[in-house]
Amino acid sequence: MFREAIRKELNKIVSEGTVFSVERSENPEHGDYSSNIALVLAKKMENPPASPDGTVGAGGPRKVAEDLKVRLQNKNWRAETAGPGFLNFWIQKEALLNALGKKISFKTLTKNINLEFVSANPTGPLTMANGRGGFYGDALANILEAVGHKVTREYYINDAGNQIHILYESILAAEGKMPDKEEYYKGDYIKKLKGKSAQQAAAVLLKEIKLSLQKAGIKFDVWFSEASMRKKGELKETLEFLNGKKILKEKEGALWWNERVVVKSNGEPTYFLSDLAYHRNKLVKRRFDVVVTIVGADHHAEIKQVEEKMKIFGIDQNRLKIIIMQLVRLVSQGKEVKMSKRAGEFVILDDLIKTVGLDAARWFFLERSPDTHMDFDLDLAKERSKKNPVYYVQYAHARACSILKKAKQSRNANLNLLAQPAELNLIKKILQLTEIIEDITNDYQVHRLPRYAYELAKIFTDFYEKHHVIDPENQDLTFARATLVFATQKTLKQVLGLMGIAAPEKM
């Protein structure tokens, strides 16, 4: 909201194409927003700064910042210079109150986006690790849809290839019809598949996966079968296209594209070729504007190669976004709970949700950036206290609902009565939501949302601990503060909803 307004004012001053930043300030002493525009402009000037730190001299960034400060003052903010040439902005109280009284809306975007996530092989039940990408993709889809994008949630079913063959041999080994091997899938679920063919077993496991996703509140629009893609000849078609480009080389009976095998010496296509054909299907045949693929860390090397190679099909790399979900460990009482899908010693997603609850499971996976390894703290997730961040945020929402049941509201509330620092800080945080959503739609970093929710809950808690909302002797102030509480409650509910987390009215 205000960040965009500041950018627009700065763009009126600089030449087209000038790249500068406007960011929310981490330290309140540095204002609400800060920009490096003066530093950027000073570098373009012919006269270099007269001193190394740029604080003096006609061409120095500090001088540029001082000149800009005069031009940027308006009724919505106060601009000041800082350091070697930063511009800091303090939003005026009147502008905050005016914005609070308006309906918050997001910038409307209309791209056709394919979002593929989870895509666990139908060779076993969904594990806790699958939950990380599952909840992330689900929340990202909610956010992209909230700003107007058309999102197709897609699950890629790996129902062909080597993993299905291993599944069948694992069943035969469980039946005692062939020797067991280390790479075979194990566990009680394999024993339950005795007597079934590879495709029958995969179908049973896929049905269980769908039930697990339903329990997790994760929905898909499209279930895309690899086997179906093969039957339609799309792998063969992709291979012929690559051969036509004369980029494949034969070595030891296999076909290679540089360092990657495309077709094995036995004639079997590799996962690499399947992934190329699949992404070609999404980007060329179905013509999605943007394709977002979320995969686990074990697919890193392979999927990054796909990202690099798609340009051979005439695909702009900006249309394909690969998100790698790093590894997750389950920790209880300070010790790791071991997981191994092949050995059958793994934590099933259903069991995790049953143990900690769906809301806690979602929150704990969403609050960490996908590029970081994470420890899922089982003990903290089970806590029903303010130590647990999701409980803390939900409690703040319930507290707001409780206050609103007691406090009368008025459409004509005099918001000018909101002047205390705790009140203004809360207004600022509420109004930041549009910027948080904008940032996520640009870089897909969903972990910003739970962080924002926790900060909003914390600032709200600080507000109601310092100030009574209901003042029997001052009805006008009660109306004003009730309006602020309502805005907080509505924002918390919206944010929790985007994450797929409940917003209880009582706790």
CATH of the domain at 394: 1.10.730.10
- 263, 255 in Cβ contact below 8 A? yes
**Res 103: pLDDT:** 74
Q: Are residues 208 and 343 in the same domain?
A: yes
**Res 371: pLDDT:** 93
Q: Are residues 81 and 6 in the same domain?
A: yes
Report d(CA 6, CA 11) in Å as an integer: 9
**Res 303: pLDDT:** 82
pLDDT higher than 50, residue 345: yes
Q: Are residues 356 and 400 in the same domain?
A: no
Q: Are residues 59 and 120 in the same domain?
A: no
Do the domain assignments include residue 168? yes
Mean pLDDT for the stretch of residues 371-386: 93
pLDDT higher than 50, residue 146: yes
**Res 44: pLDDT:** 74
Do the domain assignments include residue 312? no
Q: Are residues 127 and 206 in the same domain?
A: yes
Mean pLDDT for the stretch of residues 468-483: 94
- Give this prediction's pTM: 0.91
Mean pLDDT for the stretch of residues 366-382: 94
pLDDT higher than 90, residue 144: yes
- 155, 223 in Cβ contact below 8 A? yes
pLDDT higher than 70, residue 194: yes
Residue 113, amino acid: I
**Res 293: pLDDT:** 96
Do the domain assignments include residue 264? no
Q: What are phi and psi of 48, to 5 degrees?
A: -75, 165
Report d(CA 362, CA 132) in Å as an integer: 8
Do the domain assignments include residue 82? yes
Can you give the CATH number for the domain in which 224 is found?
A: 3.40.50.620
Mean pLDDT for the stretch of residues 100-120: 87
Q: pLDDT exceeding 70 applies to what percent of the chain?
A: 95
**Res 216: pLDDT:** 97
Tokens of 179: 């020797």
Q: Are residues 489 and 430 in the same domain?
A: yes
Handedness of CA 42, 48, 51, 53 (dihedral sign): positive
At residue 285's C-alpha, the angle toward residues 284 and 286, to 5°, is 100
Of the given ranges (64-68, 164-168, 392-396, 429-433), which has the lowest mean pLDDT? 64-68
Compute, in degrees rounded to 10, the torsion defined by CA atoms 22, 25, 26, 28.
180
257 falls in which pLDDT band (50, 70, 90)?
very high
Total domains in the chain come to 3
Q: Are residues 365 and 396 in the same domain?
A: no
Question: Helix axis angle, 389-406 relative to 475-498, nearest 10°?
Answer: 140
- 451, 392 in Cβ contact below 8 A? no
pLDDT higher than 80, residue 52: no
Q: Are residues 407 and 460 in the same domain?
A: yes
**Res 18: pLDDT:** 84
339 falls in which pLDDT band (50, 70, 90)?
low
Q: Are residues 358 and 490 in the same domain?
A: no
Of the given ranges (73-77, 340-344, 374-378, 386-390), which has the lowest mean pLDDT? 340-344
Q: Which domain holds residue 396?
A: 389-498
Do the domain assignments include residue 319? no
**Res 84: pLDDT:** 86
Which H helix or E strand runs over 292? strand 290-296
pLDDT higher than 60, residue 50: no
Can you give the CATH number for the domain in which 77 is found?
A: 3.30.1360.70
Do the domain assignments include residue 103? no
Do the domain assignments include residue 298? no
Do the domain assignments include residue 457? yes
Please, how many CA atoms are within 13 Å of residue 414, restricted to the half-sphere of its CB? Answer: 8
Q: Are residues 493 and 421 in the same domain?
A: yes
Report d(CA 276, CA 235) in Å as an integer: 8
Please, how many CA atoms are within 13 Å of residue 115, restricted to the half-sphere of its CB? Answer: 27
**Res 297: pLDDT:** 86
Residues in contact with 200: Cβ distance below 8 Å, sequence separation at least 6, in sequence order: none
Q: Are residues 37 and 173 in the same domain?
A: no
pLDDT higher than 70, residue 163: yes
- Mean pLDDT, rounded, of the chain: 91
Domain final residue, candidates 91, 124, 140 = 91
54 falls in which pLDDT band (50, 70, 90)?
very low
Q: Are residues 333 and 185 in the same domain?
A: yes
